[in-house]
């Protein structure tokens, strides 16, 4: 078959725009699971590869659900769509994460994915008995070993280890089960894991680091890379860099899917799309916009600076996302933006690829990135729920299908099959 796009839906409680919760159509009162369930079922009817849930173990902005619990409930409410959730390597233990995602993978018949992150939110530290957040280099050193332990635990069960034979002493073949006996700088884990393999073998590993250290970790460990790239040119540079690093690690370039975030406001006409976007922008509360910018640019308090003045020179973040800090600083300096203009610019896409327009315009942009070596697919960021995702599913997906760029039906049942991994 001709190469086709991989598309996931990046789900947030109210949507990705910082003012989405204030939108007139946003439901603040309903059980959030019911909202997500209907949206994920819609995404499954549109044959999306997966839904993706980020996570933070501190309150920043809107409250959120613990993703493994949510995804387990969604596994019982869906049949084919992939289920990707985030678990930090900074404030978790590898045996717990390996067991949780292996369980989700088994319960969903092979639809789970683990988004490996190192926690860029400094506020999380105080919830785990720390006065300060773990330094950037230390977080990534721990993450590398964390991944090694988790995948080692997943591999402690050989294929076919579970036997369908009631005459034996055990329901599994002990010769096909292995202890890990890991002893490292950060972890000591005996194993084996007490959860067997799923139909896809093990969960898909997703990574989103954009710094030099993050890219190196992604090249060594990831099967899907989520990334924030605002322009085609920058996305092409990132795409080639990751693929080259993957090859340097002894892996095949096609073994890693690169899926930039896509924030799109879709209308049946350009005027309708512009009006939808303007409505959200008008709802931005300055304190919320400033707080979002401060966290995303490296966990800095910008409240002492005038909103209509320039972005101050900031030191390199020690506990936030260095790649996102560089992206936002370049944006502010390149276009001479004030602090207010900068937070207004990122209030929806948060530094990601942003399109406001018709289904044809959005599809044109996606096709260009796909065909010009900038993306293998996209992680769609709905402006507000439910309307923002519904617009994308009912308008853009059919347009991509007409162009032969996206499936019209699932050909497999596991997340690996959907992603062609």
Residue 165, pLDDT score: 86
Question: Can you tell me the mean pLDDT for 183-188?
Answer: 98
Instruction: Kindly report the backbone phi and psi dihedral angles of residue 272, in degrees, each rounded to the nearest multiple of 5, phi listed first.
Output: -65, -40
Q: Could you give the CA distance from residue 219 to residue 214 in angstroms, rounded to a whole number?
A: 9
Confidence of residue 320 (pLDDT cuts 50, 70, 90): low
Percentage of the chain with pLDDT > 70?
99
pLDDT exceeds cutoff 90 at 321: no
Q: Is 326 exposed, middle or buried (0-12, 13-18, 19+ CB in 10 A)?
A: middle
Residue 265, pLDDT score: 98
Residue 289, pLDDT score: 87
Contact 134, 142 (CB under 8 A): yes
Strands (E), 70-163: 82-88, 112-117
Residue 322, pLDDT score: 76
The HSE-up count of residue 93 (CA atoms within 13 Å, CB side) is 7
Q: Could you give the CA distance from residue 62 to residue 337 in angstroms, rounded to a whole number?
A: 27
- The owner of tokens 């009631």 is 166
The 10s digit of each residue's pLDDT in 87-108 is 999 999 999 999 999 999 999 9
The 10s digit of each residue's pLDDT in 230-258 is 999 999 999 999 999 999 999 999 999 99
Q: Could you give the CA distance from residue 239 to residue 260 in angstroms, rounded to a whole number?
A: 10
Bridge partners of 371? none
First CA to last CA distance, the chain:
15
Say how many C-beta atoms besides its own lie within 10 A of residue 37's C-beta: 17
Q: Which residues of 45-83 are buried (b: 16+ CB within 10 A; e: fewer)?
A: ebbbbbbbbbbbbeeeeeebeebbebbbebbeebebbbb
Nearest to 220 by CA among 145, 289, 291: 145
Confidence of residue 319 (pLDDT cuts 50, 70, 90): low
Tokens of 242: 């990751």
Contact 277, 244 (CB under 8 A): no
Flag the least confident range among 74-83, 117-126, 193-202.
Answer: 117-126
Strands 188-189 and 182-183: antiparallel
What mean pLDDT, rounded, does the chain reach?
93
pLDDT exceeds cutoff 90 at 330: no
pLDDT exceeds cutoff 80 at 43: yes
Residue 256, pLDDT score: 97
Spell out the residues 6+ positions from residue 285 whose beta carbon is closer than 8 angstroms to its own: 19, 22
Q: Could you give the CA distance from residue 395 to residue 43 in angstroms, rounded to a whole number?
A: 13
Residue 351, pLDDT score: 83
The 10s digit of each residue's pLDDT in 366-418 is 999 999 999 999 999 999 999 999 999 999 999 999 999 999 999 999 999 99
Question: Can you tell me the mean pLDDT for 314-331?
Answer: 80
Question: Can you tell me the mean pLDDT for 70-79?
Answer: 98
Flag the least confident range among 36-40, 75-79, 161-165.
Answer: 161-165
Q: Could you give the CA distance from residue 147 to residue 186 in angstroms, rounded to a whole number?
A: 12
0.85 exceeded by the pTM? Answer: yes
Nearest to 45 by CA among 401, 341, 294: 401
- The owner of tokens 């930039």 is 260
Instruction: Give the three-class secondary structure for 85.
Output: strand
Nearest to 352 by CA among 16, 1, 11: 16
Output the CA–CA distances (angstroms, integers) from residue 361 to 94, 102, 131, 349, in the order listed: 43, 40, 48, 17
Residue 347, pLDDT score: 87
Tokens of 140: 């990534």
Residue 357, pLDDT score: 98
Percentage of the chain with pLDDT > 90?
74
Instruction: Kindly report the backbone phi and psi dihedral angles of residue 303, in degrees, each rounded to the nearest multiple of 5, phi listed first.
Output: -65, -20
């Amino acid at each position: 078959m001709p190469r086709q796009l991989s598309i996931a839906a990046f789900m947030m409680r109210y949507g990705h725009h910082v003012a989405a919760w204030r939108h007139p159509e946003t439901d603040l009162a309903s059980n959030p699971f019911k909202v997500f369930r209907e949206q994920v079922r819609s995404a499954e009817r549109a044959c999306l590869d997966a839904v993706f849930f980020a996570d933070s173990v501190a309150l920043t902005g809107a409250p959120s659900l613990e993703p493994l619990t949510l995804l387990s409930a969604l596994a019982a409410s869906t049949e084919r769509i992939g289920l990707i959730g985030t678990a930090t390597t900074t404030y978790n233990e590898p045996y717990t994460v390996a067991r949780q995602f292996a369980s989700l993978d088994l319960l969903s018949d092979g639809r789970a994915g683990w988004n490996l992150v190192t926690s860029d939110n400094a506020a999380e530290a105080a919830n785990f008995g720390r006065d300060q957040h773990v330094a950037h280099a230390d977080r990534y050193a721990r993450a590398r070993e964390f991944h090694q332990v988790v995948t080692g635990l997943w591999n402690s069960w050989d294929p076919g280890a579970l036997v369908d034979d009631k005459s034996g002493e055990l329901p599994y073949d002990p010769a096909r089960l292995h202890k890990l006996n890991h002893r490292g700088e950060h972890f000591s884990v005996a194993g084996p894991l007490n959860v067997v393999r799923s139909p896809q073998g093990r969960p898909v590993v997703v990574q989103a680091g954009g710094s030099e250290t993050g890219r190196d970790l992604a090249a060594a460990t990831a099967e899907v890379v989520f990334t924030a790239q605002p322009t085609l040119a920058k996305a092409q540079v990132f795409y080639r860099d990751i693929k080259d690093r993957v090859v340097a690690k002894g892996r095949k370039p096609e073994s890693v899917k690169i899926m930039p975030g896509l924030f799109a406001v879709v209308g049946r006409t350009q005027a309708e799309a512009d009006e939808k976007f303007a409505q959200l922008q008008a709802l931005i509360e300055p304190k919320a916009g400033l707080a979002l910018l401060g966290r995303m640019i490296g966990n800095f308090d910008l409240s002492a600076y005038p909103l209509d003045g320039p972005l101050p020179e900031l030191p390199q973040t020690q506990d936030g996302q260095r790649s996102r800090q560089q992206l936002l600083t370049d944006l502010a300096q390149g276009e001479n933006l004030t602090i207010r203009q900068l937070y207004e610019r990122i209030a929806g896409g948060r530094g990601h690829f942003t399109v406001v327009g018709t289904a044809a315009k959005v599809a044109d942009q996606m096709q260009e990135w796909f065909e010009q070596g900038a993306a293998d697919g996209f992680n769609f960021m709905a402006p507000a729920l439910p309307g923002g995702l519904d617009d994308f599913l009912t308008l853009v997906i059919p347009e991509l299908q007409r162009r032969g760029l996206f499936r019209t039906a699932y050909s497999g049942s596991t997340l690996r099959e959907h992603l062609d991994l």
